[in-house]
Structure 1
Amino acid sequence: MDPFSQLILTISVTSFFTFQWLFHKVSPWVSERISQGFPGLTDKQKVEWNSRTVSTFHALLVGIFCLSILFFDDAVNEDPVWGDPTLVKTNVAITTGYLISDLLLIFYYWKAIGDKFFVVHHLAALYAYYYVLGQGMLPYFANFRLLAEFSTPCVNQRWFFEVLGYPKSSRPNMANGVAMAVVFFMVRIAVMPVYYGRMYAVYGTEAFYLVPWGGRVAWICSSICLDVMNIMWMHKIARGCYRVLRSGRHSKAGVPQENGKTD
């Protein structure tokens, strides 16, 4: 194993244990001191609270890293299939550690945060990231997909408001709900034409045919699988946002939120 591959493996393993530590130790300790409502939550709510806290931290970390690569990494932007993947692999290694950590928590605390769509989402992403980390291919597309993480903090903030007792019709939650829907749409739905347009532009080129069949399947099928789920979640969020705005207009209580990190 070359030194850089060893570094990437070290980053992934370190990321895994860091996110486990954040979930089990840091989030409960900090939450008890900054939120008066946290101690009164049920055990299941505390599990989901800590899970969402960790996912918010991960989203901000890799999202900022992702933007810096998108704007300043010329090698990746000029050659989206085989450009220098050094920074992208580092960012993807962090996300890989997080996804494995989150999968472990999902299975262990299934009754609290179990979600079959999130299992599919994580496995599809990990399958694609295997080729990014192992062979350094498709760095632009791997990095572009991480833009979706910017929707996570808004989604989680809405859940935090509601679990602490903010009704859906309250002004803070209504504003957050609208912001969440807009951000989710911008980073997961509106960017689809850009992503698939760039994919179409490299389809059939010499660089494309250098990608092995397994890599093409991971690239194309994983992208379609993730975006089908994004569309499903956007539809669910849009319906929820509509109900919130309608309930606020008529000064009625909102419909109780369903479980799931994408709500």
Structure 2
Amino acid sequence: MDAISIISILLTSFVIFQLLFHFVSSWFSEKISPSFNNLSFEKKIEWNSRVVSTCHSLVVGIFSLYICLFDEVTKADPLWGDSSLVKVNISISLGYLISDLLLIFYYWRVIGDKMFVIHHCTALYGYYMLLAFGALESIGNFRLLAELSSPFVNQRWFFETLKYPKFSKVNVINGILMTVAFFLVRIAVIPPFYYFMYSVYGTEAYNRIGILIQSSWAVTCIVLDIMNIYWMIKITKGCIKVISLIRQEKARHLQNGKVD
């Protein structure tokens, strides 16, 4: 796949995600949730941002999983495999990252977050390097598996915004799924990922990558994984707190039952 095709996909992705944010999300949200119209301007901005985030996560996350399971090119050569499917997936993600970054800056007062800026800029740099130098494409695609946890994270925010009770069945189930998914695709993969990095260190294929890509690979992944661990700690604390409150609530009901 040539540079023109990659840029075309990136620009198409950018335009689609902008259209989703400015037009489609509000229209769709009004249809499925009448409460959307009652939200403040600030809440609507974040709502639309999270709808777009969910769309992006589902597209690139599922596509990434498919590539990991069935793309023979990247399986055969994880460091130098040249896969058109990976290029398409990364280009889509680049379009989203640029789109979301612009929205974050434009609506900084509403959705501005330094952690997200660092995350997006790190990912942009890493994915650009992969496409520009034609190496580590399978690594970039593997990192996109992390997006499979984002729909659950966004759904938690939707439930909170719509004022679903914390102990409601759908809220609790989503919280458990969010914690499990986040752990599996962002934390559990850390040890085998760095073991793979260690296993290829010093090989001929690794040396051909060059010091710039080697250092970029290491630094970007370390930065992203530090963030993932930080977010995992926050999610785990929240999950433990909810479980503790549920137990307290059950104990209170049992005590009231005995009293009655």
TM bin (shorter chain): over 0.9
Larger Rg: 2
Give the Å deviation of 1:212. Answer: 2.3
Counterpart selection for 1:109 from 107, 110, 115 = 107
Question: Does structure 2 conserve the Cα–Cα contact (< 8 Å) formed by 1:106 and 1:115?
Answer: yes
DSSP-derived class of the 1:235 partner: helix
**Which aligned pairs between 1:60-75 and structure 2 lie closer than 5 A?**
60-75=58-73
Look up the match of 1:239: 237
1:4 aligns with 2:2: yes
DSSP-derived class of the 2:79 partner: coil
Structure-2 separation of matches of 1:182 and 1:102 = 26
Letter in 1 for 2:101: L
TM-score (norm 1): 0.92
Question: Does structure 1 conserve the Cα–Cα contact (< 8 Å) formed by 2:131 and 2:137?
Answer: no
In structure 2, the gaps of 5 or more residues are 251-260
Letter in 2 for 1:162: E
1:137 aligns with 2:139: no
Q: Relative to 1, partners in 2 of residues 1:85 and 1:136: Cα closer, same or farther, differing over 3 Å? A: farther
Question: Does structure 2 conserve the Cα–Cα contact (< 8 Å) formed by 1:158 and 1:173?
Answer: yes
Give the Å deviation of 1:171. Answer: 2.1
Give the Å deviation of 1:20. Answer: 0.5
Name the stretch that deviates more: 69-78 or 13-22.
69-78
Look up the match of 1:259: none
In structure 1, the gaps of 5 or more residues are 253-263
Structure-2 separation of matches of 1:39 and 1:223 = 40
TM-score (norm 2): 0.93
Structure-2 separation of matches of 1:109 and 1:82 = 39
Deviations 1:35-92 (A, max 9, x none): 0111111111111110110010101101111111101111211211101232111100
Question: Does structure 2 conserve the Cα–Cα contact (< 8 Å) formed by 1:148 and 1:187?
Answer: yes
Look up the match of 2:257: none
Deviations 1:176-217 (A, max 9, x none): 111100110010000112211221121111111111222112
Deviations 1:136-156 (A, max 9, x none): 110111011000000001111
Counterpart selection for 1:204 from 198, 202, 207 = 202
Look up the match of 2:183: 185
Deviations 1:99-132 (A, max 9, x none): 0000001111112111101100011111111111
Structure-2 separation of matches of 1:11 and 1:75 = 21
Look up the match of 2:149: 151
Question: Does structure 2 conserve the Cα–Cα contact (< 8 Å) formed by 1:89 and 1:136?
Answer: no
Look up the match of 1:25: 23
Structure-1 separation of matches of 2:160 and 2:103 = 23
Structure-2 separation of matches of 1:156 and 1:163 = 11
Look up the match of 2:223: 225
Letter in 2 for 1:91: N
Question: Does structure 2 conserve the Cα–Cα contact (< 8 Å) formed by 1:170 and 1:248?
Answer: no
Structure-2 separation of matches of 1:139 and 1:87 = 10
Give the Å deviation of 1:97. Answer: 0.4
Structure-1 separation of matches of 2:8 and 2:227 = 31
Name the stretch that deviates more: 93-102 or 59-68.
59-68
Letter in 2 for 1:143: N
Structure-2 separation of matches of 1:20 and 1:133 = 23
Give the Å deviation of 1:170. Answer: 2.0
Letter in 2 for 1:49: W
Give the Å deviation of 1:162. Answer: 1.0
Structure-2 separation of matches of 1:71 and 1:172 = 31
